[in-house]
Chains A and B, each alone.
Chain A
Amino acid sequence: MSVAYTPLEMGLAIASVALATFVTRSTLLVVGERLRFAPRVEAALRYAPVCALAALVVPEILFRQDALVLGLDNPRLPAAIAASLFLLWKRSIVGCIAVGMSVYALWRYFVIGA
């Protein structure tokens, strides 16, 4: 990577994430004593995080260095599928990470040989 953040930009980025934590969690507790969401607004707030996470996670799994890799040479794909199936079976974060990382490591070792 040729460009990098200046310390100021890095500080701003970190501060913005911290601020987002505060604003989303505390604003409604502190101000606005009587307020109800319209159903549409509530729906948007409810579905936004899952959409954002999906839009972030899926490309992370499918792309490598800006190229779409859908074949057997992408160890993240079988690992993510195995981890998802495990999650549907048992709702365990620890298990999901363990299964995903195991498949990821084994796949890289045996299928790709790296």
Chain B
Amino acid sequence: MRDIAPAMPGAVAWGVVTGVAMVKFGLAVSAALGLSLTAYAGSAQLAVLPLLKDVTPVWIIAATAIVTNLRFVIYSAALRGWFLDYSRWRRLWLGYLSGDFVVVAFTNRVATEGAFLHRDAYYFGMALTNWVLWHVASIIGIVGAAYIPTHWGLEFAGILALLALVVPLCRERPALAGALAAALVAVLAHDWPLRLGMLAGVIVGITVAMWLDARKRSRGEIARVAQ
């Protein structure tokens, strides 16, 4: 519990904002509750809201959800080594409950202590705390949204919450360049049908980021050889 305490205010605020934003983007309360309880994915949930509002085809919504969740593929690859001696069923739920904060806290502890005893319980404890907080917060947001006038423009808070995720990720240069390229293409191709402009932006952005990343890597190798 103590190890994720610093992340709690952010998680609660993020949950409330997601809840409010879902309703203010026009989702029925039942749909908002369903989405929140099953998806348990702040960024993907917020990301699909504008798409749902524009009645975008379901496959584009699914693609968007997968792409915004891809960072968890990296996380689970990093976590896997620590959990391989547990049953698959247990690992399935460990995966589902993972979140950004939990993964960071866990990797910090195994980095200093190695494969400590009951690390699954430690992980479960943190993940479950995070899960409960998240759901309580987003339900408060969903229910509370009915009492907030629409003209306050609170759906914009959902956009700001996503922005709060993007900006810190842009510290690495390939990520920054990729994000700028993705945004530029998405703006230029905004009038393409079915939000394909956004997908084009994502593809161009990833290509730019990968290219810069490969260049950085090969420079690093040249520097090592030169020593």
User: Chain B contacts of A24 at CB under 8 A?
Assistant: 66, 69-70, 72-73, 76
Closest approach, in angstroms, between the C-beta of A16 and any C-beta of chain B? 4
Chain A nearest Cβ from B117, distance in angstroms: 20
Interface of B is mostly: helix
B34 touches A14 (CB 8 A): yes
Per-position 1/0 for B197-214, Cβ under 8 A of A: 111011001100110011
Q: Would you call A29 and B94 a contact (CB within 8 A)?
A: yes
Chain B min CB distance to A65 (Å) = 11
Q: Which residues on B sit within 8 Å (CB–CB) of A97?
A: 13, 17, 157, 160-161, 164
Residues of B within 8 Å of A33, CB to CB, are 84
> Complex: how many Å from CA A73 to CA B50?
21
Residues of B within 8 A of A39 (CB): 214, 217
Chain A binding surface SS class = helix
Please list the residues of chain B having a beta carbon within 8 angstroms of any beta carbon in chain A: 9-10, 13-14, 17, 31, 34-35, 38-41, 43-45, 47-48, 50, 52-55, 58, 61-62, 64-77, 79-80, 83-84, 88, 91-92, 94-96, 98, 152-154, 156-157, 159-170, 174-175, 178-183, 185-187, 190-191, 197-199, 201-202, 205-206, 209-210, 213-214, 217
